[in-house]
Amino acid sequence: MASTRRATAAARAPAASPLASASGLIVGEDGLARPPWAAVDPLLRAYYDTEWGMPVRDEQGLFERLALEGFQSGLSWATILRKREAFRAAFRGFDPDVVARFGDEDVARLMADAGIVRNRAKILATIGNAAATLRLRADGGLAAFIWSFQPAATPAPRTLAQIPTVSAASTALSKALRQRGFAFVGPTTMHALMEATGMIDTHLVGSHRRGSSGVWPADRR
């Protein structure tokens, strides 16, 4: 999600905007500084301001994020975000107990649903990941498993170029999830998941959201 989203939004943002800072942040009409990907599209802006980077620690919430990050692979995050409610309806609220029981009829239903991304491999991976989520309950559950890979430190990027798209922690998480039977959980996808769920804080220093998650100390601003 992260690299595709930033590149797409940056291409849309006006390069010569008088409101763009040297760091790449863009100051909106409300006086708040945001990265280019969150400064143009109202939907992405609201997502950035209220949700992105905030901690997600429940099984169902993390299963949904894991599924959506997988579906986003190769697409823009804006596309996924606009289809989010359709995804939730199609996957029954991303309840892993329900999704794990999906069969051939459900796959056919999902492949015929124009409201979501109709990619058979990703649909089958989501169903398989639901079953893997249920198996993880014997070892503490999906949330505890994912959060156990939270690194000891978070990046503190001051420019767009300094924002990483992969890390040792995301690579380790990807490998561990694959060993547990998960699919579409590559290192870059897991890095985006870690950003989106507050495990790391990659808000640019100077952004109004830097340090807002409560996971990392405020002195990292």
Give the active site residues.
Answer: 47, 69, 77
CA–CA dist 116, 121 (Å, integer): 13
184: helix, coil or strand? coil
191 marked ligand binding residue: no
Q: Please choose, from the candidates 58, 200, 53, 54, the residue with its C-alpha nearest in 3D space to the C-alpha of residue 141.
A: 58
Q: How many CB atoms lie within 10 A of CB 49?
A: 16
Determine what percent of the chain falls in helix, strand and coil, rounding each to the nearest 5: 55, 0, 45
DSSP letter string over 74-121?
TS-HHHHHHTHHHHHHHTGGG-HHHHTT--HHHHHHHHT-TTS---HH
What SS3 state is found at 133?
A: helix
State the binding site for Zn(2+).
Answer: 203
State the binding site.
Answer: 203
